[in-house]
Chain A
């Protein structure tokens, strides 16, 4: 046992040392493709027409560049970080709650935006977004973004709910019955930010400036709100399809959700709609980031350019219920999306959205903040009833 321990420690140390030594310099010119590119992505993010023939943004790229695209899907941000820590991938579509962790862990490398000609077409509000730009250095190109909307049952809510309080506080819904057991919340630590966002609006005396930067008092207030929420939430959701089933069979009538579920259920003729209430909402903005030891950097750069310039932005926006990072993709007819669809997915709500970022100890708005790992353990505790 002891020798085994020593062996595994030695191997691990050796591996981590070689890892650091191999960290690559930033590319200055894109050379010929290496023949493949390996991407960690959210499910449904990279489609080659296999799920539905009309949604394909890979085949043409492969024909044009000769780079075979290989995808490994991950279901949560934490899983993405874990996969990137393992290595063997070139790119990842990281959300804001993963991107800073990847940068801090030196798992991703700076990206030379001069090598991505379509960079200039990216939404200006996203070009220097703090979740992929550190000290003025870009660590990726924006991929897609979307809001975490409040999904509700239109039979119960004749008017869209004006506030997130329907999922945070025990109250009677418009149909006269209590909301206890009829609302859901997201089963991920990042949901603490939704609570903070709610407090930011309703308890200004706490002085929350950014829902991802909370000092001890603000954090405690958010956890207390979540503990009260535990009393009215029967089951937290983390699988989109189980949430859909709960709305259909479990009598759930309101929950934070993604446009993805809303679109699927509306397509199924369910009495479902979504809104962004007065407090605003949290949202996700994903970035294509490049692994520090990417084996196929040329294909990776070609893919980054492809994500911004091809039909991808437009068609993925339709497919996933997300908003393109290139606003022109909504209107110039490069794919199936149009201005109306983009508006429905949340384009006009950009200013109301606080995008997911990883909470860190050293934060900008105040001296000391509660870091992410405490969000993880405390949120498990809150769900467990502590």
Chain B
């Protein structure tokens, strides 16, 4: 008795065996099985809810009872364009731009030092120092800043001890950026934003600077360039993708934040707060949805510009 030998083996039987055979014969089935859960997540839970929200912006609200009227209309967008709401948008975009530029200026030297000079233990310490603020609670940091910036807070005390109160007062009497105290001025809001989002700028800039070959900088110096020229013509262009990548974080995070300006600032609304106020409290979901479209559009343009600057070439 001998079993006839064939090239095709019989199925291995059992659920696992059948599945293994199926995957081996049709590799696409396995691929589909592996891809479907993340695609569902992205498609339904993420994009789906986003589109459902956007769809809401084409409805309007009955002004007295606060019930949403489910008829397609552009009324909500007209409302979005009234002067008070345009103020909110302009205020938020300007703040995001200011925070981004300042973050780039502060982050560059820090990242440069970390990428070029810090070694061993110092490098570890650097990473720890940058990441540490990210590990503590966001709210705790913001409340701590409220106490630092308050009229009877630490910073005012320091200025008083240094007999520099006049300087602070002169600064605070300036229009727009000033206020009664740092904690109720745009400057205060700006400082806290800068502090909270700084790590998101430092890390990409440092990664970009580490990839700049040292010999290029040396060559530039050999050819007679001053340090300023080297920075302008060699270092900055090569590190630019990192700066742009970092700016995407700082810009979009500032654009969407609604907690910092509520605790520190002059009560003037930012986009995030307007969304929160309209959907959470006023029940005006259409207007809130229209407001959320604004950062999406702004970030769309921003990313398009960033792509042209080559921020994604390194990805």
Contacts and interface: CB of A to CB of B under 8 A. Distances in A.
Contacts of B72: 5, 9
Contact of B84 (A85, A250, A371, A377): A377
Contact of A249 (B55, B151, B281): B151
Interface in A369-386: 371-373, 376-378, 380-381, 383-386
A245 B268 CA distance: 19
Contacts of A250: 150-152, 181, 183-184
Interface in B192-243: none
A73 interface: no
Nearest to B64: A104
Interface string A274-298: 0000000000000000000000000
Contacts of A371: 63-64
A385 B283 CA distance: 24
B82 interface: yes
Interface in B68-119: 68, 70-72, 79, 82-84, 87-88, 91
Given A78-B283, A181-B179, A249 B267 contact: no
Given A78-B283, A101-B64, A235 B146 contact: no
A384 B151 contact: no
Nearest to B285: A82
Interface residues of A, number: 49
Interface in A212-254: 233-236, 242, 245, 248-251
B66 A381 contact: no
A134 interface: no
A43 to B, nearest CB: 14
A251 B282 contact: no
Contact of A234 (B147, B153, B266, B274): B266
Nearest to A252: B151
A386 B267 contact: no
A349 B87 CA distance: 41
B142 to A, nearest CB: 11
Interface of B: 51-52, 55, 58, 62-68, 70-72, 79, 82-84, 87-88, 91, 146-147, 150-153, 179-181, 183-184, 263, 265-269, 274, 277, 280-283
Q: Which 7 A-B pairs have the closest CB atoms?
A: A181-B180, A105-B65, A82-B283, A381-B84, A234-B184, A373-B63, A234-B180
19 contacts: A13-B70, A78-B66, A78-B281, A81-B66, A82-B66, A85-B67, A105-B67, A106-B65, A181-B179, A233-B267, A235-B266, A248-B152, A249-B146, A372-B63, A377-B79, A377-B82, A378-B84, A380-B277, A384-B268
Given A1-B51, A12-B70, A380-B269, 19 more contacts: A78-B283, A79-B280, A82-B280, A82-B281, A85-B68, A105-B66, A181-B179, A182-B180, A234-B266, A251-B151, A251-B152, A372-B64, A376-B282, A378-B84, A383-B269, A384-B88, A385-B268, A386-B84, A386-B87
